[in-house]
Copies of this chain bind each other. A is one copy, B any other.
Amino acid sequence: MAAGTERKILVAVDEGEESTYALSWCLKNVVTENSKDILILLYAIPPRAVYTGLDGTGYLFSSDILATMERYSNRVAECVTEKAKRVCKEVNDVKVETKVEHGDPRDVICQVAEKLGVDVVVMGSHGYGLIKRAFLGSVSNHCAQNLKCPVLIVKRPKSTNVSNS
CB < 8 Å neighbour of A25 from B28, B33, B148, B150 = B150
Interface residues of A in 127-162 (CB under 8 A from B): 140-141, 144-145, 147-155, 157
Is the CB of A120 closer than 8 A to any CB of chain B?
A: yes
Copies of this protein chain in the complex = 2
Q: Which residues on the B side are within 8 Å of A119 (C-beta)?
A: 29
Q: Residue A157 contacts which of B29, B120, B148 (CB distance < 8 angstroms)?
A: B148
What chain B residues lie within 8 Å of A22 (beta carbons)? 150
- Which of the residues B1, B149, B157 comes within 8 Å of A33, measured between beta carbons? B1
Q: How far is the CA of A130 from the CA of B25 in the complex (A)?
A: 33
Contact B2 A32 (CB under 8 A): yes
A9 closest partner in B (C-beta): B29
**Is A68 located at the chain interface by the 8 A CB criterion?**
no
Cβ-defined partner of A125 (8 Å) among B1, B2, B141, B144: B144
A120 to B28, CA, bound (A): 12
Give Cα A22 to B152, complex, Å: 12
Instruction: Show 12 residue pairs from A and B whose CB-CB distance is below 8 angstroms, ordered by the A residue.
Output: A1-B27, A1-B33, A7-B29, A29-B30, A29-B119, A29-B120, A32-B32, A120-B152, A140-B144, A148-B155, A152-B153, A153-B153
